[in-house]
Amino acid sequence: MASNNYPYEIKDVDIPETIVTRNHDEIIRIGPKGYIFPKTFRDMAADIYNMEVKPTDVYVFSYPRSGTTWTQELVWLVVNDLDYETALKIPLTDRYPFLEGPMLFNESTKKKILDRSKENESEAKDLQNVVKSAVELVNEMPSPRFIKTHLPLSLLPPNALEAKMVYVARDPRDAIVSYYHLIKSMKIANFDGDFKQFWIAAVKNYQSWSPYFENVKEAWEKRNHPNLLFLFYEDMRKDLESSVRRVCDFFGKKYSDDQIAKLCDHLTFDKFKNNPSVNYDLMKKIGLMHTDQEFVRKGKTGGWREYFDEEMTAEADKWIQENLRDTDLRFPSMQ
CATH of residue 123's domain is 3.40.50.300
77-91, 124-138, 170-184: which has the minimum mean pLDDT?
A: 124-138
d(CA 282, CA 147): 19
| Total domains, the chain | 1
Chain-centroid distance of CA 210 in Å reads: 12
Closest C-alpha to 40, from 103, 86, 98, 92: 103
Of 221, 228, 175, the residue nearest 59 (C-alpha): 228
Is the pLDDT score of 295 beyond 50? no
Mean pLDDT for the stretch of residues 132-147: 92
Lowest mean pLDDT across 4-13, 38-47, 98-107, 290-299: 290-299
pLDDT tens readout for residues 51-96: 999 999 999 999 999 999 999 999 999 999 999 999 999 988 889 9
Give the mean pLDDT of 252-278. Answer: 89
Q: Is 103 a domain residue?
A: yes
Closest C-alpha among 36, 29, 24, 31 to residue 12: 29
Q: Identify the pLDDT of residue 128.
A: 65
Question: Residue 156: inside a domain, yes or no?
Answer: yes
Q: Is the pLDDT of residue 131 over 80?
A: no
- For residues 5 and 46, the answer to whether their CB atoms sit within 8 Å is yes
Query: 164 pairs with which residues across the strands?
Result: 58
Q: What is the mean pLDDT of residues 328-332?
A: 94
Residue 74 lies in a domain: yes
Q: Is residue 252 situated within a structural domain?
A: yes
Q: Does residue 22 form part of some domain?
A: no
pLDDT in tens, 308-323: 999 999 999 999 999 9
Q: Note whether residue 20 is domain-resident.
A: no
Confidence of residue 109 (pLDDT cuts 50, 70, 90): confident
Is the pLDDT score of 289 beyond 90? no
What is residue 133's predicted lDDT score, i.e. its pLDDT? 83
Element (H, E) at 51: none
188: domain range?
A: 53-334
Query: Does the residue 175 lie in any domain?
Result: yes
**Looking at residue 105, what is its pLDDT?**
76
Chain centroid to Cα 203, Å, comes to 18
Is 115 part of a structural domain of the chain?
A: yes
